[in-house]
Structure 1
Amino acid sequence: MSSDGSSGSDFERFRVTFFEECNEILADLEVHLTQLQEEALDVEGLNAVFRAAHSIKAGAGAFGFTRLVTFTHSFEALLDKLRDGQIEQSPHIADVLIRGGDILAELVTAAQEEREVAADFTAPILAEIAEVMDEGGGAAAVASAAAAAVGPASAADVEPNGPRSWQITLAPGPDLFKNATEPLLLIRELQGLGDLIVRCNSDALPTLRRMDPELSYLGWVFTLESTCTRQDIQEVFEFVDDTCSIDIEDVTGRTPRATTSQEEEDGFGLFEPLESDSAPEAGMAQAEGGQPAPAPPVGAARAPAAAAAGAPASKPAAASSIRVELNRIDRLVNTVGELVITQAMLSQELGELADYLGRQPIAGQEALAALTRELQECVMAIRMQPVKSVFARMPRLVRDLSGKLGKKINLRMSGEHTEVDKTIIEELADPLTHMIRNSIDHGMEMPADRVAVGKPEEGTIELSAAHVGGNIVISVSDDGAGINRERVLRKAMEKGIVPADAVLSDHEIDELIFAPGFSTADQVTDISGRGVGMDVVRRNIMGIGGRIQVTSHPARGTRFNLLIPLTLAVLDGMIVAVGNQRYILPITSIVESFRPDPTQLRFLDDRTQLVSIRGEFIRIIKLCDLFHVPDAVHDPARGLVVLVEVAGGGKVGIVVDELIGQQQIVIKSLNDNFDPVEGISGATILGNGKVALILDIEQLAIMRADVSSGRLPPDPGPAALVAAE
């Protein structure tokens, strides 16, 4: 290790990357295993599951996680027999694999946290795996099937009675490293099978000046003394890129193929044993001579006949990606946000200067604005991810929990590809889990009870995601019994959440399920009863600037809507003037703006004013009264009504003095310096350097009617104080 500790830091970086990749692999594994419970996987699906397990095993071996390697080897042995058709897929097999996947995930977590698991932690599932494999035909049948799979090799190739000698020739293509293959890991896996001798061919290695660090120039011949089978060796090279040539030959009882004089000239040296500490140097031969043109990769002369017959078919370009720490993306987003603000200020100053001088705007000003906008959209796209990564966990939850409770439930999902900011994605898992558990435990009836009231015995939970205006709406609905409001109110009174003489509306009773410590369960179980479910949902959703709505119909079911901002960083906004203040309306929520005729205005009561448009009456919200803004237009007929859409398809009209213009808005949170303000979701900096508040349409739509009517102006609130800053 170097004195500056760089080797240690490199190792830690690779270790972090390994566990990040494990988490992604385990998420994909969960999706495929969940699908296996519903229907038989095709060959590609089984191969994907096998690759996932094998990739974890290979990486774990490189880092010395022996316990993880041992378990994964048994796990992938069962998968191997499944994909070879030696064991038929069944619900029992799916259950074993899913529980095996859970054990695998726990072992990965334990390795990441550097803690030990119990010595017998994997014993039960390993015993089940062994039992399933024995039922698949016994050792003799397995040996016969393996022998048939590897071709004309003798039975001794599959089940050797003693140590055998194997000669393995690996001739990689030039893109070996580009396809993420690491020869050192292959060598270490071979070394784990027995005594290994390695020799390297460095014929194609050019001088340093002509070398491309991304290309592969070396080839290897291995001699392995081991009791392993040909299939064991083939598994080592399972995921080696198909541009590599691999030849496995049983040389037991005879001398390995002699090195020809040409091969000696090509750089095959003497046989040398592999030392674990010097493995990285196994292929570091010195190229001699002047500066020859780069030779073709090793193994070109021994390529398959099909490749020699003509030019190899071109491979489709693989999707490329790069792993970047989220905090770096956040810094980039913040920097681009500041650039947008600066560009807006510059545009405003140049526009005022052009008006003063009576000239046209400076050339390139509009181009700069367009490029800045495109840059911000590109940066924001980096942070966007589909909600599928969260939705994929829910089918397993529904199956496990419904099975434990004896209920029959079908989960339907839609909108999984709806994209949302990554920072929001990470906060959705717990709320969705609690909501699904609540629907299963409290909402859904037992099959016999459903049949008794004329429902199908299998209930349905629908999980969906969609973009609505500037929000993403995630809905969890069920066709269960709905909220038992009488029981909820009684429990709330017993727990002292509401006074014993309280008279509440249906909506207010429904909202009680979000009270901290509230639960209708009669006893505490591992599923419910502790009162720490739905209040966690509301708290987590509010923490990311969203909110939750609940609607319930007795005997028909319940729907929860999560309204979450599409992103926490940027939005397209319309700047509106209300008196001397400026507010921002999300442009995606605006339907239209108009100046109503006095005949279109009506008062529903002393506290609610409506406007009629195309036969529809829409409630009016006056920002000047809501936020106590002086010198603003109070009469909608003298100002403008901006019609905006809210979740669920409803509309409200917001009265403003005038529309200033559209602008891309960089969202700044107020939570760090102010208490939450009802009706305000954040703030931004305008081109003139002043602060403008961003309106929360959903909250405005449900705020008290007496505040928005204009008849009873409220006292100045926090929003007015913030706006005055």
Structure 2
Amino acid sequence: MQLDEIQAIFFQECEEGLAVIETDLADLRDGAPSDETINTIFRAVHSIKGGAGAFGFDALQGFSHQLETVLDLLRTGELTPEPDLVALLFAAFDGLTDHVSCAQGGGGAPDDAALIARLTAAAGRAGAAHDVAEPEAAPEPVVVAEVVGDAFDLDALLADIGLGDPPATATAGGAIPWRVRFVPGRGAFDNGGDPLPLLRELDALGGQVVAIDRSGLPSLDSLSVDECYLGWTLSVPGEVARDDIAAIFDFVSDQAELEIVAEGDEAPLLIAEPVAEPVEEDLLAAVLAMVEPAPAPVAEPQPQPVVVVPVVAEEPVVIAAVVEDGANRPAGAAAAAAAAGGATIRVELEKLDRLVNLVGELVITQAMLAQRLSIHGVGAIDELSDLDHLTRELQDSAMSIRAQPVKSVFSRVPRIIRELEASTGKRVRLEVEGEMTEVDKTVVERIGEPLTHMIRNAVDHGLETPDERVAAGKPAEGVVRLAAEHRSGRIVISVSDDGRGIDRARVRAKAVERGIVAADANLSDEEIENLIFAPGFSTAATISNISGRGVGMDVVRRNVQALGGRIGISSKFGLGSTFTLTLPLTLAILDGMVVSVGGQTYVIPLAHVVESLRPRDGEVRGLGPGAGVLDVRGTYLPILPIGRLLNVADACVDPTNAVLVVVETDAGQSILMVDGIQDQRQVVVKSLEANYAPVAGLAGATVLGDGRVALILDVETLVQRHRSETPRALAA
């Protein structure tokens, strides 16, 4: 595995650790904290610190050390989770997030001197003995003693590592110590690696080296300074959690032998005797005796310890498994415990994309086979029905692998809220619902920016200041609610606030002032609300780092439409507003209505379809050449002839001889005029942009069961084009 691949895994684990820290800090703030909550935060910070040191991110390692010191005092009870300290921990979490981002992006370290001073002061109030004023010094490199002639003091070199007397069987507190056996791989020094900092980490936990494994030492003429030949056995106090010991070796466990067991459960030490004081003797003879291979002693059968076996893989796949502390647990029980713990595997996204693509091809091939067999009159055989069922199950399973909870996006919102509270002076309470709702990974990755804009608008434009809220009879603290749910095969994300709502008169006045609409335009309430999505529109009185430049909500709408979704607004002046994002669960497969226009076949995404109908004579009202409307239950809806919009020859031009499909878009309801409806089915989306070129009005293509290629209509774009062309056509 290359260094950059290992580093990428480190940053992925940093993201997971930061998510855990933020969740547990929220628990620390909102309820009675448990010891496990604080320990979980400490372990996550400790893991980030260890990885940062391994990769040479000194600024990240130093800041993590400051935060770790305060957390250590918190978990030992020397500090208590008072509101001021919890607020400091949130600020430190933000700083840690910035450090991780800088390390990942290669930028300079953030200015955190004031934050470090606050952490130092907090630790000082506890009378801590830790030195938190200075960042943890980078580990000194291992220096091999200079060889002058035959003078090579190996014992002095080993003593420099801090070896001590063997500890007692149990610590003063009565807990059974841990026995840790650590044998680095020969390539432990590759890519800047060094086992010595790991031993120092154990030393900081109270560990002591009790024996050294010298069996791997070669003869002097074969000795290489670039390889590691030694192993160590250490005794660590039983009060130290096993997870804390294992966390030290997170980034080397696949390149070394590691055993962590309670003393008394370990197998006999197949290594050198415990370290004793050096004996005065001929130095060269001592070295030669030490490097001479010794026969391994025959040991009595002993219970097998838990061993972390190194995994060598060609691809950067990391397997997270549950390892029990007990040494004598049966294999079946261990497997059941691992299953109960929800073992996971991290796989490259490219592999998942390829799997989904192959499943899509299988779906197409199955549909073509069913079409061919039905032509020959054998479409009802049981095997074909079973194949259809299995293909659909395989397709659903493949798509579920890519599904992720929106929690990964929602977890960023608390920090945004805290920053907005600090910059606006407003008090905000965030309510989150449905954060475990799952959606395709691509959708999750691309809704972050729209969601950030909406949260900023809700706080900056929606919520009033505390004084204004009290004067209006509201609580001083405003509420922003973020929710997600599955609805009709799509995911619906809503951002609500209990603020001032949309002042339609002010919105209209601003739109007229900026030339977005004419002063005499007759607009409905819905059309006025949708003006906030116009490019360049803003009602902010001053330009700030939050808003005022008019580049917010139009970006939100474009990004949502690019995902095949739509955004809606519901607002009551003085009571608040709700913005609703409706998005597809996946961008790879959709349910569609297959229609014909002239000699062409198209697919209308079923998420837009409301109903289909055939008008009777006299029901369609003409508004000029190529323009007409239909009265649908008291509402006149514009008719969009798909044949004219896409320049399809031989398309039907008479609405009374065509099929009219009522569709729902951000602009309201409209009608698509097609020649006929062929079928309704689930189709695999193929990108036009990736395989040909982007085409306005088309969202992609698919292959039907008979082998024909059908184009998927971009309903939003077609409706917008029709609305912009109709006034010009009527004027002409």
- CA–CA separation in structure 2 for the residues paired with 1:706 and 1:528: 29
Q: How much has 1:703 moved relative to structure 2?
A: 8.6
Q: Which amino acid in 1 is paired with 2:90? A: I
User: Which residue of structure 2 lines up, in the alignment, with residue 210 of structure 1?
Assistant: none
- CA–CA separation in structure 2 for the residues paired with 1:433 and 1:460: 16
- CA–CA separation in structure 2 for the residues paired with 1:190 and 1:306: 21
Aligned runs of 1:517-666 on 2, under 5 Å? 517-577=536-596, 580-586=599-605, 607-610=628-631, 630=650, 632=652, 659-666=677-684
Aligned runs of 1:407-418 on 2, under 5 Å? 407-418=426-437
User: Which residue of structure 2 lines up, in the alignment, with residue 372 of structure 1?
Assistant: 391
- CA–CA separation in structure 2 for the residues paired with 1:609 and 1:665: 30
Which deviations, in whole Å up to 9, do the C-alpha atoms of 1:561-609 show, x marking residues without a partner? 223222111123343445544333445676777x77969x966997443
Aligned runs of 1:62-73 on 2, under 5 Å? 62-73=54-65
Residues 418 and 707 of structure 1: CA distance in aligned 2, closer, same or farther (over 3 Å): farther
- CA–CA separation in structure 1 for the residues paired with 2:630 and 2:712: 24
- CA–CA separation in structure 2 for the residues paired with 1:624 and 1:59: 58
Which deviations, in whole Å up to 9, do the C-alpha atoms of 1:42-83 show, x marking residues without a partner? 233222211210111222233233333332222122112223
Q: Is the 8 A contact 1:347 1:687 kept in 2?
A: yes
Q: Is the 8 A contact 2:368 2:704 kept in 1?
A: yes
Q: Which amino acid in 2 is paired with 1:245? A: V
Residues 515 and 376 of structure 1: CA distance in aligned 2, closer, same or farther (over 3 Å): same
Seq. identity, % = 41
Q: How much has 1:507 moved relative to structure 2?
A: 3.7
Q: Which amino acid in 2 is paired with 1:691? A: V
User: Which residue of structure 1 lines up, in the alignment, with residue 126 of structure 2?
Assistant: 136
Aligned runs of 1:352-391 on 2, under 5 Å? 352=375, 354-355=376-377, 364-391=383-410
Q: Which amino acid in 2 is paired with 1:694? A: I
Q: How much has 1:349 moved relative to structure 2?
A: 2.6
Residues 69 and 452 of structure 1: CA distance in aligned 2, closer, same or farther (over 3 Å): closer
Aligned runs of 1:60-139 on 2, under 5 Å? 60-117=52-109, 121-136=111-126
Give 3-state SS (helix, strand or coil) of 1:436's partner. Answer: helix
Q: Is the 8 A contact 1:451 1:457 kept in 2?
A: yes
User: Which residue of structure 2 lines up, in the alignment, with residue 687 of structure 1?
Assistant: 705
Q: Is the 8 A contact 1:189 1:236 kept in 2?
A: no
Q: Which amino acid in 2 is paired with 1:237? A: I
Residues 707 and 272 of structure 1: CA distance in aligned 2, closer, same or farther (over 3 Å): farther
User: Which residue of structure 2 lines up, in the alignment, with residue 237 of structure 1?
Assistant: 245
Q: Which amino acid in 2 is paired with 1:103? A: G
- 2:458 aligned with 1:435, yes or no? no
- CA–CA separation in structure 1 for the residues paired with 2:635 and 2:163: 87
- CA–CA separation in structure 2 for the residues paired with 1:512 and 1:197: 71
- CA–CA separation in structure 1 for the residues paired with 2:301 and 2:607: 58
Q: How much has 1:504 moved relative to structure 2?
A: 4.7
Which deviations, in whole Å up to 9, do the C-alpha atoms of 1:77-112 show, x marking residues without a partner? 211222333322122111111111122222223333
Residues 59 and 346 of structure 1: CA distance in aligned 2, closer, same or farther (over 3 Å): same
- CA–CA separation in structure 2 for the residues paired with 1:553 and 1:403: 27
Q: How much has 1:670 moved relative to structure 2?
A: 3.9
Residues 621 and 382 of structure 1: CA distance in aligned 2, closer, same or farther (over 3 Å): farther
- 2:529 aligned with 1:510, yes or no? yes
Q: How much has 1:651 moved relative to structure 2?
A: 8.2
Q: Which amino acid in 1 is paired with 2:453? A: H
Q: Is the 8 A contact 1:642 1:654 kept in 2?
A: yes
Residues 383 and 10 of structure 1: CA distance in aligned 2, closer, same or farther (over 3 Å): same
Pick aligned residue for 1:53 from 45, 51, 54: 45
Q: How much has 1:308 moved relative to structure 2?
A: 8.1
Q: Which amino acid in 1 is paired with 2:367? A: A
User: Which residue of structure 2 lines up, in the alignment, with residue 257 of structure 1?
Assistant: none
Aligned runs of 1:666-705 on 2, under 5 Å? 666-671=684-689, 677-678=696-697, 680-695=698-713
Q: Is the 8 A contact 1:415 1:465 kept in 2?
A: yes
Give 3-state SS (helix, strand or coil) of 1:130's partner. Answer: helix
- CA–CA separation in structure 2 for the residues paired with 1:311 and 1:426: 39
- CA–CA separation in structure 2 for the residues paired with 1:604 and 1:270: 99
Q: Which amino acid in 2 is paired with 1:316? A: A
Which deviations, in whole Å up to 9, do the C-alpha atoms of 1:314-359 show, x marking residues without a partner? 562232222222223223322332332233233323332x24xxx5
User: Which residue of structure 2 lines up, in the alignment, with residue 31 of structure 1?
Assistant: 23
- 2:233 aligned with 1:221, yes or no? yes
- CA–CA separation in structure 2 for the residues paired with 1:643 and 1:299: 65
- CA–CA separation in structure 1 for the residues paired with 2:673 and 2:295: 79
Residues 90 and 365 of structure 1: CA distance in aligned 2, closer, same or farther (over 3 Å): same
Give 3-state SS (helix, strand or coil) of 1:483's partner. Answer: coil
Residues 110 and 658 of structure 1: CA distance in aligned 2, closer, same or farther (over 3 Å): closer
Pick aligned residue for 2:360 from 337, 352, 360: 337
User: Which residue of structure 1 lines up, in the alignment, with residue 12 of structure 2?
Assistant: 20
- CA–CA separation in structure 1 for the residues paired with 2:379 and 2:530: 57
User: Which residue of structure 2 lines up, in the alignment, with residue 4 of structure 1?
Assistant: none
Give 3-state SS (helix, strand or coil) of 1:88's partner. Answer: coil
Pick aligned residue for 2:418 from 385, 396, 399: 399
- Normalised TM-score (structure 1): 0.70
- Normalised TM-score (structure 2): 0.70
User: Which residue of structure 1 lines up, in the alignment, with residue 172 of structure 2?
Assistant: none
* Greater alpha carbon shift after TM alignment, 43-52 vs 601-610: 601-610
Q: How much has 1:713 moved relative to structure 2?
A: 12
Give 3-state SS (helix, strand or coil) of 1:571's partner. Answer: strand
Structure 2 stretches lacking a partner, 5+ long: 131-161, 168-176, 186-193, 216-229, 250-257, 278-289, 308-323
- CA–CA separation in structure 2 for the residues paired with 1:72 and 1:390: 24
- CA–CA separation in structure 2 for the residues paired with 1:516 and 1:134: 53
Q: Which amino acid in 2 is paired with 1:199? A: A
- 2:211 aligned with 1:199, yes or no? yes
- CA–CA separation in structure 2 for the residues paired with 1:442 and 1:309: 59
Residues 621 and 546 of structure 1: CA distance in aligned 2, closer, same or farther (over 3 Å): same
Which deviations, in whole Å up to 9, do the C-alpha atoms of 1:675-703 show, x marking residues without a partner? 6645x543312122322233456778889
Q: Is the 8 A contact 2:593 2:680 kept in 1?
A: yes
Q: How much has 1:425 moved relative to structure 2?
A: 1.0
Q: Is the 8 A contact 2:700 2:713 kept in 1?
A: yes
Give 3-state SS (helix, strand or coil) of 1:426's partner. Answer: helix
Residues 38 and 602 of structure 1: CA distance in aligned 2, closer, same or farther (over 3 Å): farther
Which deviations, in whole Å up to 9, do the C-alpha atoms of 1:118-139 show, x marking residues without a partner? 6xx3432222122223333666
User: Which residue of structure 2 lines up, in the alignment, with residue 297 of structure 1?
Assistant: 304
**RMSD between superposed Cα atoms in Å:** 5.1
Which deviations, in whole Å up to 9, do the C-alpha atoms of 1:474-501 show, x marking residues without a partner? 2222232223334334444444445566
- CA–CA separation in structure 1 for the residues paired with 2:438 and 2:329: 47
User: Which residue of structure 2 lines up, in the alignment, with residue 349 of structure 1?
Assistant: 372
Give 3-state SS (helix, strand or coil) of 2:344's partner. Answer: coil
Q: Which amino acid in 2 is paired with 1:350? A: L
Q: Which amino acid in 2 is paired with 1:390? A: V
- 2:442 aligned with 1:423, yes or no? yes
- CA–CA separation in structure 1 for the residues paired with 2:679 and 2:358: 24
- CA–CA separation in structure 1 for the residues paired with 2:84 and 2:602: 60
- CA–CA separation in structure 2 for the residues paired with 1:478 and 1:233: 44
* Greater alpha carbon shift after TM alignment, 367-376 vs 580-589: 580-589
